[in-house]
Structure 1
């Protein structure tokens, strides 16, 4: 029965569907649920920093239930998206309803789309990676697969990493620097991979080229099937989706810096180079993303067996609550700056 707790990860798309059906003020139910109700629940529920023993870990790895929970997000995310597009093109919506649905759908694209796409992007199976990339498509962030796996995990907690927020950098500044630099980095990484394998830019193995084509086709398909209003909706919902991702990126490594060794190289990534959170609700809704320190320590570990490390820097709140706090830079700096180890500050 304990394994069923991850079904709560579908609470956000469930609330979004309710908003789509009832409309009116209900279109804002998803942002309220995600950034008001969940943070309140995080404060109520106790922190759980227990780790599993070897026997339990082995048992959980044998259960395909945890994998199917991820796969199920593909029809759920696209179901919410397609219904939203149909609604915007066939129903007369007020400005309030239109904007509310953009945020609701965008949150689903970020939480159940990009977040799950991130988890599956680390898997070795071709089919799982395909699903992961498909979940990144509606947010126009397929390049994340390249940059995250070949860039971020190599450069995390260094000034070379666009997805590591610097000390005293606001989340609003980070949205621009991270988004732009990650996209540029993805192309650089792709070109390097092609060169190392003696392949041309027009090679079938040029994933970045395929990602660009697929995203353009997605936009054109929305325009052709649902019309201009739905296209505007799809564009803005996608932006909300990747802004949520970048907000998570912001809090995951804020102010942390790997030290250089005598050789001039950075020390290897350790448990101390990512912010960890053991707040139960955030852990469940985000498929254990909040145990980010262990994910970086060993990126191949599946979400259901991620551990908590005592040496990892601990966030005072869960990730959803921390995302809300990051929107208020003075409050964020006041709470978090004193928690950043002085020798690791990214200035």
Structure 2
């Protein structure tokens, strides 16, 4: 979003799960590298969700540092400059934890950390189901084809759309990232999830069953494209 207030709201919401680096990685990393092996948030075919959590969390955090460090170098600032948004995010999150401890004590801070971890795992599970097994073709030049609606799993269930603010219309979100969630479109040509997000998240918790269901869908999609 170009609106500074909307960006502030996004960062504030991510602060509630101590995941502010996601603001950088998602916008400047994930949307650029989605459905490639260069993207920590795109699940690979055959990858268990439990392993994906760790890969996406760790590599996403490292990627955010790399992106922001490169940005600082481009602007002529030091990587440890206050202009480095990743550095600011760490300080803000640390100050937030100190504030919770100072205002409410040790145990409430622990409860907050547990709640934040639950939020992170839910977010990464959603990342897992949104691009699982889908990949963009790499050209001879080394560049990848333009992101298309079929590089994201889509779900057009009404309840999911309402509760998740159109997140389930994920294909259009990636096809035109600047489009606001209120006007995201449904793409019939995009791969459709067998169920809504809650069902897909639960299914992913049983990897053997997940692989049977999803690999059949992927193979059918590949045949249709061929």
Q: TM-score range by the shorter chain?
A: over 0.9
How far the C-alpha of 1:261 sits from its partner, in A, is 2.0
Give the equivalent residue in structure 2 for 1:140: 18
How far the C-alpha of 1:276 sits from its partner, in A, is 0.2
How far the C-alpha of 1:168 sits from its partner, in A, is 1.0
- 1:236-290 CA-to-partner distances (Å, cap 9, x unmatched) read 0000011110000000000111011232321111111000001111111000000
Give the equivalent residue in structure 2 for 1:261: 139
How far the C-alpha of 1:167 sits from its partner, in A, is 0.4
Give the equivalent residue in structure 1 for 2:37: 159
Secondary structure class of the residue paired with 2:16: helix
1:61-140 → structure 2 map (5 Å cutoff)? 123-140=1-18
How far the C-alpha of 1:205 sits from its partner, in A, is 2.0
Give the equivalent residue in structure 2 for 1:325: 203
- The structure richer in helix per residue is 1
- 1:74-126 CA-to-partner distances (Å, cap 9, x unmatched) read xxxxxxxxxxxxxxxxxxxxxxxxxxxxxxxxxxxxxxxxxxxxxxxxx2111
Query: 1:195 aligned to 52, 58, 73, which one?
Result: 73
- 1:24-76 CA-to-partner distances (Å, cap 9, x unmatched) read xxxxxxxxxxxxxxxxxxxxxxxxxxxxxxxxxxxxxxxxxxxxxxxxxxxxx
- The number of residues matched between the two structures is 222
How far the C-alpha of 1:179 sits from its partner, in A, is 0.3
Secondary structure class of the residue paired with 1:278: coil
Give the equivalent residue in structure 1 for 2:63: 185
How far the C-alpha of 1:203 sits from its partner, in A, is 2.6
d(CA) in 2 for partners of 1:262 and 1:160? 17
1:278-289 → structure 2 map (5 Å cutoff)? 278-289=156-167
Aligned-residue RMSD, C-alpha: 1.3
Instruction: Report the CA distance shift for 1:228/1:276 in structure 2 as closer, same or farther (over 3 A).
Output: same
- 1:7-40 CA-to-partner distances (Å, cap 9, x unmatched) read xxxxxxxxxxxxxxxxxxxxxxxxxxxxxxxxxx
Query: 2:53 aligned to 157, 171, 175, which one?
Result: 175
Give the equivalent residue in structure 2 for 1:242: 120
Give the equivalent residue in structure 2 for 1:315: 193
- Structure with the bigger RCO (C-alpha within 8 Å, sep 6+) is 1
Give the equivalent residue in structure 2 for 1:297: 175
- 1:279-308 CA-to-partner distances (Å, cap 9, x unmatched) read 111111000000000000001111111111
How far the C-alpha of 1:343 sits from its partner, in A, is 5.9
Unpaired runs of 5+ residues, structure 1, are 1-122
Structure possessing the higher radius of gyration over alpha carbons: 1
Give the equivalent residue in structure 2 for 1:114: none
Secondary structure class of the residue paired with 1:340: helix
Calculate the TM-score normalised by the size of structure 1: 0.62
Residues 1:337 and 2:196 are matched in the alignment: no
Give the equivalent residue in structure 2 for 1:18: none
Residues 1:220 and 2:98 are matched in the alignment: yes
